[in-house]
Amino acid sequence: MPASAMELAELYPFIFKRKSIRKFDPKLIDTALMTELATFIEELHPLYPQLKTEVKIVAPEEVQRRFMTKPGHYVLFFSDTSPGFAENAGFMLQQVDLFLSANGIGSCWQMIPSPHASARETSSLEYVILLAIGTPNEPLYRASLGEFDRKPLGQVTNAEGLTDLLEPARLAPSGTNNQPWFFTGTSENIHVYCAQKSRLRTRFVGKMDRISCGIAVCHIWLAILNQGKEMEVIKDPDAEAHPPPDYYYLQTLKIQ
């Protein structure tokens, strides 16, 4: 059963102080907390419920780190590759990221490390992305919002009166911190767009950009829950037909 809106809303404050942890202590995560994490993973909310997904916790030996610091574990995300799978991966795994932050555990989205064949073969689905997780060996939280290196809100939206919902999205982590999202709309419908890239760049980072947008949408969703409201993901043909320059349409968030 998915976690309740009240439980998920408890993650909301950590949007404003979480950070990517790249230095891990060799001390293993407490067994009881690992059990809680496994239960939380079973209760993740998808952005697109029709997609088949699997989330697995594996030992660091199951992943080719490529010179990255050794964490306590990795969380691997697998999915079918139907449309929307990358945004869905970001949306779901960011719930894990914030859960870990709320429970004193460090985490970091990583594109370069890759699971060994032994880990990939445990799922019939396609490997998408992973989180490195572990006991932090550096401060877990930011001291202030000033520590976020992000674009001003006016560069990621032209909507007015939506600061409470879009400021959390602005603070979301993204691949190479390129913040590929843009938002338009109203307090009832927020349209989500992703930056267009050259064909060559899309080949290498297109999936990560869509994952990043899914992370930002997760933050919007938690902000909506924090206001006691709900969100439905829909497609808006007019919004899709009229994207901002240099962006393409992903989805519309209908607020209820």
| 217 Cβ contact list (under 8 Å, min separation 6) | 47, 87, 90, 91, 169, 192, 251, 253
pTM here is: 0.95
Does residue 140 form part of some domain?
no
pLDDT of residue 112: 87
In the block, residue with structure tokens 């439905």: 232
Same domain, 93 and 169: no
pLDDT of residue 149: 97
The domain spanning residue 86 has which CATH number? 3.40.109.10
pLDDT of residue 143: 96
Same domain, 25 and 63: yes
pLDDT of residue 138: 96
Residues 223, 235: Cα–Cα separation, whole Å: 21
Same domain, 157 and 107: no
Same domain, 43 and 129: yes
Does residue 144 form part of some domain?
no
HSE (side-chain half, CA atoms, 13 Å) at 214? 26
pLDDT of residue 200: 59
pLDDT of residue 173: 98
pLDDT of residue 204: 57
Q: Say how many domains are in the chain.
A: 2
The domain spanning residue 174 has which CATH number? 3.40.109.30
Does residue 31 form part of some domain?
yes
**For residue 1, pLDDT beyond 60:** no
pLDDT-derived band at 5, boundaries 50, 70, 90 = low
CB-based burial, 95-118: b 16+ in 10 Å, e otherwise: bbbbbbbeeebbbbbbeebebeee
**pLDDT tens-digit readout, 48-90:** 999 999 999 999 999 998 767 789 999 999 999 999 999 999 9
Which of 89, 102, 96, 112 has its CA nearest to residue 41? 96
**pLDDT tens-digit readout, 184-237:** 999 999 999 999 976 656 665 679 999 999 999 999 999 999 999 999 999 999
Same domain, 84 and 9: yes
Task: Name the residue range of residue 199's domain.
Answer: 149-255
Same domain, 215 and 190: yes
pLDDT of residue 9: 78
**For residue 6, pLDDT beyond 70:** no
pLDDT of residue 26: 84
pLDDT of residue 202: 60
Residues 239, 236: Cα–Cα separation, whole Å: 5
Does residue 143 form part of some domain?
no
Is 132 in contact with 107 (CB distance < 8 Å)? yes
In the block, residue with structure tokens 């697995």: 56
Same domain, 43 and 107: yes
**pLDDT tens-digit readout, 144-184:** 999 999 999 999 999 999 999 999 999 999 999 999 999 99
DSSP for 170-226 reads: HT---GGG---EEEEE-SSEEEEEEE---HHHHHHHHHHHHHHHHHHHHHHHHHHHH
pLDDT of residue 206: 72
Does residue 85 form part of some domain?
yes
